[in-house]
């Protein structure tokens, strides 16, 4: 067993190491940009791949440590690990590893466009990926809510350059929408954080006089003295603000454009990780708000999330049924699954919340697989100037993994999404049939029945919609003959890695992961103390 | 309320007047002018709020300000709207006429380029719907109602937070309803002004306020990316700053 000191060291590595990698790739790109751009691109690609593997192993080490809490100070800012942040770090590193692996093959296919800007050169791609990875890791590591805000805001900078990497007209359009909508949201999230700062009594502020005042753990310890009205407003603004970045309806409109236009490894990171990192911030506010407002108001926060979840789910459904480009369909699927996660959180109870947290990981893995597999298809078919049909025949590896990923995404057993959706549904129902649960108000049961019916109805329609899209892609007759795909590790390896995880999590949740999920649910529901 | 507090409150309320101008002006040049005025007023209001002594309601002595650490924070806060007030016309004109082939990130606009920018702005004069003023009034009333009915605090704090919230709502409305990308980004910047004001209001907490100021500076990075990079490139790629035309030409549908 790794001791708690080691957990602190692992946390420090998770903060410091990506910075070193970022600096190294930037140096390699800078030195090689003129005379040896191809060599510099490959070198920074391999540095990124190996470092992301190392960070994945570090996060597995965190999970296996058996300890949940560690903290350290950097200058005057506190960084803190608990089960929820370890879970998030693991999620981020799983997807970042697969995306950085796949981006080696992705870059080999991107044709140079004349008059490219510096950030659209291959040598800088990995620098931006590392910047994006680092800022996302900063979110779960930080205890201070302003630092979390800064980290989420900085993810926008790295990701915006990545979305526009291919430099198409539509990419600029998508980046514009992404920046305007998410900046608007992030302003509201900071306003929420300001409201939270105002909730502290003046005497406490004068006594403490440090950055700790806005540490999540400190605020939670001071829950009894926080101004309830300010905390409630803070929650609403944080939900609106971070919810925009998390792609929740009705602030989701950047999502299909951003995910659709970004290079596939970036789409995997956006959909798999960025949305969850923003939701993580919402969870911190949610826990704090429930702790401050007490059980009497818990229903209000839960119903707010439930409405947000159902709205996202219902908004996504018609767009998945429509004949849209497949990457946009996948983006709407992200909206659907964010809706499912928030639905589970809104239903409340340890089981449903555990299911929602597990679903964050499951969706990240499956969606990353889908984007990377479809990215492989896109590159080959675009090069041949053909529309994407008959992928099972022309691209047997990527096509079959895309099909299996699609089946998983719509909740087919024995894959991971089925498992977590089942847990969410079971948790939602069991709250009302389990006699050990506290009494519910009269309106709770009808609301739950309607919500569960809408959930089941939407997911069934979405099942039909995605299968329809997949059928065309993998089974229809191709327009013209395209050379068959051969196995390459950088293109297929990450897909296999994600597929194994997808299948494994569908049939068995390893005890350390189960403990991490259950501890995370306890933190969200404020049952940990 | 002391005279000092009255001055601060008047400054805050004047921000609403400028927000009204931003919302109801049809010409881009007028919108930019109103935004500049708002930024100058905010700079003055930020300094006034910083030197306001919360105990007495009068102005604080300079040494008291320096020892509490707020002076540095307030200088940093005031620098942001001031810089935007000074440079926004140049930034917007640059965004309107920038050609990537020139490869220059910063350059002095020639008189011809300025004229060209202003003529493009005039072309983009879209009539403002008659209901706009009424919508603005409703948003301000909503902001005041939320704060006055929902939060139990001192009256001057209530006014400050209400104005901040009203600037957020007005900025949001402009971002959604405007027909050109330059005015749309002014909407986002108006929301920023609301943030500045909200942060200045809690600047009597020196240490976390500094962290908030750092957050604002990081936020400025996004604003710079939008203004210096995305708007010029988008305009160059689509040949227009008109949102309807951009949407019409866009491949992003469904």
Q: Which residues of A79-108 are buried (b: 16+ CB within 10 A; e: fewer)?
A: bbbbbbbbbbbbbbbbbbbbbbbbbbbbbb
Q: Is the pLDDT of residue A163 over 80?
A: yes
Partner residue facing B237 (CB), from A76, A172, A229: A172
A325/B contact by beta carbon, under 8 A: yes
- Beta strand pairing status for A70-74 and A77-81? antiparallel
Residue of chain B minimizing CA distance to A234: B151
Average pLDDT over residues A3-19: 86
Per the listing, tokens 């089941």 go with A456
Put simply, the answer to whether B205 touches A233 (Cβ < 8 Å) is no
Chain B residues with beta carbon closer than 8 angstroms to that of A160: 222, 225, 230
A440/B contact by beta carbon, under 8 A: no
- Tell me what ipTM this predicted complex has: 0.89
Residues with Cβ within 8 Å of B20's Cβ and at least 6 positions away in sequence, in order, are B133, B136, B170
Chain A residues with beta carbon closer than 8 angstroms to that of B221: 154, 157
Write down the pLDDT at residue A415.
96
Q: What's the CA gap between A403 and A413, in Å, rounded?
A: 14
Higher pLDDT, A92 or A116: A92
Q: Is the pLDDT of residue A134 over 90?
A: yes
The tens digit of pLDDT for each residue in A68-99 reads 788 898 888 899 999 999 999 999 999 999 99
Question: Is residue B242 helix, strand or coil?
Answer: strand
Calculate the alpha carbon distances from A443 to A184, A454, A488, B80 in Å. 35, 17, 57, 50
A169/B contact by beta carbon, under 8 A: yes
Give A487: exposed, middle or buried? Use CB within 10 Å, 0-12, 13-18, 19+: exposed
B175/A contact by beta carbon, under 8 A: yes
Partner residue facing A183 (CB), from B188, B194, B215: B188
Percentage of chain A lying above the pLDDT 70 cut: 96
Write down the pLDDT at residue B158.
87
Total residue length of chain B: 254
The tens digit of pLDDT for each residue in A232-283 reads 999 999 999 999 999 999 999 999 999 989 999 999 999 999 999 999 999 9
Average pLDDT over residues A179-200: 91
Percentage of chain A lying above the pLDDT 90 cut: 69
Partner residue facing B175 (CB), from A160, A169, A184: A184
Partner residue facing A229 (CB), from B150, B208, B233: B150
Q: What is the DSSP letter of A207?
A: H
The tens digit of pLDDT for each residue in A197-239 reads 888 887 887 777 677 888 999 999 999 999 998 999 999 999 9
Number of other CB atoms surrounding residue A228 within 10 Å: 16
Q: Is the pLDDT of residue A356 over 90?
A: yes
Q: Is the pLDDT of residue A466 over 70?
A: yes
**Residue A76: both structure tokens together:** 């005057």
Write down the pLDDT at residue A1.
47
Chain A residues with beta carbon closer than 8 angstroms to that of B148: none
Residue A80's DSSP bridge partners are: A71
Task: State phi, psi for A74 to the nearest 5 degrees.
Answer: -125, 115
Q: What is the mean pLDDT of chain A?
A: 90
Nearest to B77 by CA among B248, B238, B204: B204
Q: Is the distance from CB of A135 to CB of A186 less than 8 angstroms?
A: no
Number of domains in chain B: 1
CB pairs under 8 A between A and B: 143
Nearest to A354 by CA among A83, A94, A90, A141: A83
Q: Is the distance from CB of A259 to CB of A334 less than 8 angstroms?
A: yes
Chain B residues with beta carbon closer than 8 angstroms to that of A210: 207
Per the listing, tokens 């917007």 go with B92
- Concatenating the DSSP letter of every residue in B64-120 gives HHHHHTHHHHHHHHHHHHHHHHHHHHHHHHHHHH--GGG--SS-PPPHHHHHHHHHH
Q: What's the CA gap between A101 and A264, in Å, rounded?
A: 12
Q: Is the distance from CB of B199 to CB of A194 less than 8 angstroms?
A: yes
Q: What angle do CA A436, A442, A446 make, to 5 degrees?
A: 95
Write down the pLDDT at residue A434.
65
* Tens-binned pLDDT, residue by residue, of chain B (254 aa): 778 788 888 999 999 999 999 999 989 999 999 999 999 999 988 888 777 776 676 666 666 666 666 677 777 778 888 988 898 988 888 888 887 666 565 667 778 888 888 888 888 787 888 889 999 999 999 999 998 988 887 888 889 889 999 999 999 999 999 888 899 999 999 998 998 888 887 655 556 677 888 888 888 777 877 888 888 888 888 888 888 888 887 777 77
Shortest Cα–Cα distance, A212 to chain B (Å): 8
In a domain, B254, yes or no: no
Put simply, the answer to whether B152 touches A229 (Cβ < 8 Å) is yes
Average pLDDT over residues A382-410: 93
Write down the pLDDT at residue A502.
97
Q: Which of B101, B182, B252 to mutate to test the interface with A (most CBs of A within 10 A)?
A: B252
Q: What's the CA gap between A21 and A229, in Å, rounded?
A: 44
Put simply, the answer to whether B230 touches A175 (Cβ < 8 Å) is yes
Percentage of chain B lying above the pLDDT 90 cut: 26
Query: What Rg do the C-alpha atoms of chain A give, in angstroms?
Result: 22
Task: State phi, psi for B168 to the nearest 5 degrees.
Answer: -60, -45
Partner residue facing A233 (CB), from B150, B214, B250: B150
Q: What's the CA gap between A165 and A109, in Å, rounded?
A: 13
B251/A contact by beta carbon, under 8 A: yes
Q: What angle do CA B151, A241, B216 make, to 5 degrees?
A: 85
A157/B contact by beta carbon, under 8 A: yes
Q: Which of A180, A222, A300, A329 to mutate to test the interface with B (most CBs of B within 10 A)?
A: A180
Which helix (H) or strand (E) covers residue A80, if one does? strand A77-81
Average pLDDT over residues A293-315: 88
Shortest Cα–Cα distance, B176 to chain A (Å): 10
**Residue B174: both structure tokens together:** 């402009």
Is the alpha carbon torsion for B150, B155, B161, B167 positive or negative? positive
A189/B contact by beta carbon, under 8 A: no
Write down the pLDDT at residue A439.
64
Partner residue facing B175 (CB), from A117, A174, A180: A180
Q: Is the distance from CB of B190 to CB of B170 less than 8 angstroms?
A: yes
Put simply, the answer to whether A187 touches B168 (Cβ < 8 Å) is yes
What's the 3-state SS for A28-72?
Answer: HHHHHCCCCHHHHHHHHHHHHHHHHHHHHHHHHHHHHCCCCCEEE
Write down the pLDDT at residue A437.
56
Q: What angle do CA B57, B61, B63 make, to 5 degrees?
A: 140
pTM of the entire structure?
Answer: 0.93
Put simply, the answer to whether B206 touches A256 (Cβ < 8 Å) is no
Q: Which domain holds residue B77?
A: 3-99+130-249
């Amino acid at each position: 067993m790794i001791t708690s000191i080691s957990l602190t060291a692992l946390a420090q590595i998770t903060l410091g190491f990506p910075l070193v990698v970022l600096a190294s790739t930037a140096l390699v790109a800078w030195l090689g940009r003129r005379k040896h751009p191809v060599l510099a691109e490959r070198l920074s690609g391999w540095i990124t791949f190996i470092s992301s593997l190392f960070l994945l192993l570090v996060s597995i080490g965190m999970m296996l440590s058996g300890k949940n809490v560690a903290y350290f100070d950097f200058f005057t800012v506190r960084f803190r690990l608990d089960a929820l942040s370890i879970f998030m770090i693991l999620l981020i590193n799983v997807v970042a590893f697969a995306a950085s692996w796949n981006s080696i093959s992705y870059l080999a296919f991107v044709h140079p466009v004349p008059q490219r800007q510096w950030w659209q050169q291959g040598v800088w791609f990995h620098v931006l990926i590392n910047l994006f990875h680092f800022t996302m890791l900063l979110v779960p590591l930080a205890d201070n809510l302003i630092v979390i805000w800064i980290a989420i805001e900085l993810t926008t900078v790295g990701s915006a350059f990545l979305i526009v990497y291919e430099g198409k007209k539509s990419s600029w359009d998508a980046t514009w929408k992404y920046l305007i909508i998410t900046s608007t949201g992030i302003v509201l999230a900071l306003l929420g954080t300001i409201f939270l700062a105002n909730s502290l009594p003046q005497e406490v502020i004068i006594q403490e006089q440090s950055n700790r005042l806005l540490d999540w753990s400190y605020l939670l310890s001071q829950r009894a003295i926080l101004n309830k009205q300010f905390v409630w407003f803070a929650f609403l603004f944080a939900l609106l603000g971070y919810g925009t970045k998390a792609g929740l309806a009705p602030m989701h409109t950047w999502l299909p454009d951003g995910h659709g236009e970004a290079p596939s490894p970036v789409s995997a990171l956006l959909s798999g990780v960025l949305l969850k990192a923003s939701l993580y911030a919402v969870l911190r506010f949610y826990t704090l708000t429930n702790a401050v407002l007490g059980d009497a108001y818990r229903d209000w926060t839960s119903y707010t999330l439930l409405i947000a979840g159902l709205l996202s789910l219902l908004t996504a459904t018609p767009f998945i049924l429509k004949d849209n480009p497949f990457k946009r369909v996948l983006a709407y699927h992200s909206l659907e699954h964010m809706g499912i996660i928030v639905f589970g959180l809104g239903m409340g109870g340890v089981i449903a919340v555990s299911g929602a947290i597990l679903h964050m990981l499951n969706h990240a893995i499956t969606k990353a697989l889908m984007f990377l597999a479809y990215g492989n298809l896109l590159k080959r078919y675009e090069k041949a100037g053909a529309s994407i049909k008959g992928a099972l025949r022309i691209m047997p590896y990527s096509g079959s993994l895309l099909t299996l990923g699609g089946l998983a995404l719509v909740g087919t057993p024995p894959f991971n999404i089925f498992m977590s959706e089942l847990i969410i549904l079971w948790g939602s129902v069991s709250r009302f049939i389990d006699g050990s649960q506290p009494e519910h108000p009269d309106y709770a049961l009808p609301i739950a029945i309607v919500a569960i019916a809408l959930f089941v109805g939407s997911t069934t329609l979405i099942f039909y919609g995605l299968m329809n899209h997949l059928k065309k892609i993998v089974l229809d007759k191709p327009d013209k003959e395209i050379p068959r795909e051969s196995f390459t590790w950088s293109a297929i390896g990450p897909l296999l890695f994600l597929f194994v995880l997808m299948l494994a999590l569908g049939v068995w949740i390893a005890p350390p992961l189960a403990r991490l999920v259950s501890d995370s649910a306890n933190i969200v529901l404020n049952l940990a103390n | 309320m002391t005279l000092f507090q009255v001055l601060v409150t008047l400054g805050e309320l004047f921000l609403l007047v400028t927000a009204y101008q931003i919302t109801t002006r049809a010409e881009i040049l007028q919108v930019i002018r109103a935004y500049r005025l708002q930024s100058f007023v905010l700079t003055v209001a930020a300094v006034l709020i910083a030197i306001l002594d919360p105990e007495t309601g009068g102005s604080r002595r300079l040494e008291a300000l320096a020892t509490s650490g707020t002076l540095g924070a307030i200088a940093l806060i005031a620098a942001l709207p001031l810089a935007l007030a000074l440079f926004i016309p140049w930034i917007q004109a640059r965004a309107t006429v920038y050609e990537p082939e020139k490869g220059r990130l910063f350059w002095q606009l020639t008189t011809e380029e300025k004229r060209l920018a202003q003529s493009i702005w005039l072309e983009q004069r879209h009539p403002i719907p008659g209901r706009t003023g009424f919508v603005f009034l409703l948003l301000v009333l909503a902001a005041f109602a939320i704060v006055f009915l929902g939060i139990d605090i001192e009256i001057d704090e209530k006014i400050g937070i209400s104005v901040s919230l009203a600037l957020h709502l007005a900025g949001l409305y402009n971002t959604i309803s405007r027909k050109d990308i330059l005015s749309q980004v002014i909407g986002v910047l108006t929301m920023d002004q609301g943030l500045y004001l909200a942060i200045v209001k809690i600047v009597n907490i020196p240490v976390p306020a500094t962290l908030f100021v750092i957050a604002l500076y990081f936020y400025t990075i996004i604003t710079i990316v939008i203004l210096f990079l995305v708007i010029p490139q988008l305009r160059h790629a689509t040949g227009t700053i008109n949102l309807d035309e951009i949407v019409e030409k866009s491949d992003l549908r469904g």
